[in-house]
Chains A and B, each alone.
Chain A
Amino acid sequence: AQSVAQPEDQVNVAEGNPLTVKCTYSVSGNPYLFWYVQYPNRGLQFLLKYITGDNLVKGSYGFEAEFNKSQTSFHLKKPSALVSDSALYFCAVRVLSGGYNKLIFGAGTRLAVHP
Chain B
Amino acid sequence: GAVVSQHPSWVICKSGTSVKIECRSLDFQATTMFWYRQFPKQSLMLMATSNEGSKATYEQGVEKDKFLINHASLTLSTLTVTSAHPEDSSFYICSARFAAIGETQYFGPGTRLLVL
Contacts and interface: CB of A to CB of B under 8 A. Distances in A.
Interface in B48-105: 49, 57, 91, 93, 95, 102-105
Interface in A74-115: 90, 94, 98-103, 105-108
A102 B34 contact: yes
A37 to B, nearest CB: 10
A51 B103 CA distance: 9
A98 B44 contact: no
Nearest to B108: A43
Given A32-B103, A43-B93, A44-B93, A103 B109 contact: no
Given A43-B93, A44-B93, A102 B107 contact: no
A43 B110 contact: yes
A98 B105 contact: no
B107 A41 contact: no
A68 B103 CA distance: 20
Given A49-B103, A51-B102, A41 B110 contact: yes
Interface of A: 32, 34, 36, 41-46, 49, 51, 90, 94, 98-103, 105-108
Which of A44, A99, A108 gathers most chain B CB within 10 Å?
A44
20 contacts: A32-B103, A42-B110, A43-B93, A43-B107, A43-B109, A44-B93, A44-B95, A46-B106, A51-B103, A90-B43, A99-B57, A100-B32, A100-B49, A102-B46, A103-B105, A105-B43, A106-B43, A107-B42, A107-B43, A108-B43
B107 to A, nearest CB: 4
Contacts of B57: 98-100
Q: Sorted from nearest, which 9 A-B pairs have the closest CB atoms?
A: A43-B107, A44-B107, A43-B109, A43-B110, A105-B43, A107-B43, A43-B108, A105-B44, A43-B93
A49 B1 CA distance: 14
B112 interface: yes
A42 to B, nearest CB: 5
A68 B44 CA distance: 25
Nearest to A49: B104
B103 A90 contact: no
A104 to B, nearest CB: 8
